Amino acid sequence: MIEIGTIKGYKIKYDTGPKLFLLFDADGNEVASGSTQEEVEDKAKKLAKKVFEPFEALKLEYEARVRYGKVTSVNIDGKWVMFVYTDLPHGRAQEKVRFQSSDLYLRTVHNEEIMGQIGARRAIIDEQRAQIKALQLQLENRIGLEFFRCEGGSDAS
């Protein structure tokens, strides 16, 4: 990537692979792109007029797991936001979340109540899975490769 310059506090870089001009904010987040330098300079001027304030959000992940974090930047051209997890025990991590597949929600009292209900149901599902696993462990005479190698099984040759 070739660094072109800075305008209104945004860095402009040129990516020779896809042949795109990219615009980065002060934190290094890609916030816009375009096919010409003039296009991204215009976007930088518009963005400089708008101040983005990070805000708290809730994320519904695979198997209805609820996560807490903040939306720290948005890329309208790329159609994604940067979501920074605030509930991780090992520190902060971030993820690009695309709008088309987004399960991000504004953190409001109402949404937290609903997410709490989802979390309670998630706990019931986890408990039922544990019970199923405990029952599975009680099954006997599993048929696997070892079944055919021991005296109790038949000779498949």
Percentages of the chain per state (helix, strand, coil), in multiples of 5: 35, 35, 30
SS3 125: helix
Contact 72, 57 (CB under 8 A): no
Token pair 């506090």 is found at: 9
Q: What is the pLDDT of residues 128-152, one digit of tens each?
A: 999 999 999 999 988 888 878 876 5
Instruction: Please state the pTM of the whole predicted model.
Output: 0.59
The whole-number pLDDT of residue 154 equals: 54
CATH of 52-139, one of 3.40.190.10, 2.60.15.10, 3.40.50.2000, 2.30.30.140: 2.30.30.140
Residue type, 31: V
SS3 13: strand
Contact 103, 60 (CB under 8 A): yes
Q: Which of 5, 50, 38 is nearest to 24 (CA)?
A: 5
The whole-number pLDDT of residue 92 equals: 67
Q: What is the pLDDT of residues 105-121, one digit of tens each?
A: 999 999 999 999 998 99
Tell how strand 10-15 and strand 20-24 pair up.
Answer: antiparallel
Query: Which residues of the chain fall short of a pLDDT of 50?
Result: 157
**H or E, element range at 139:** none
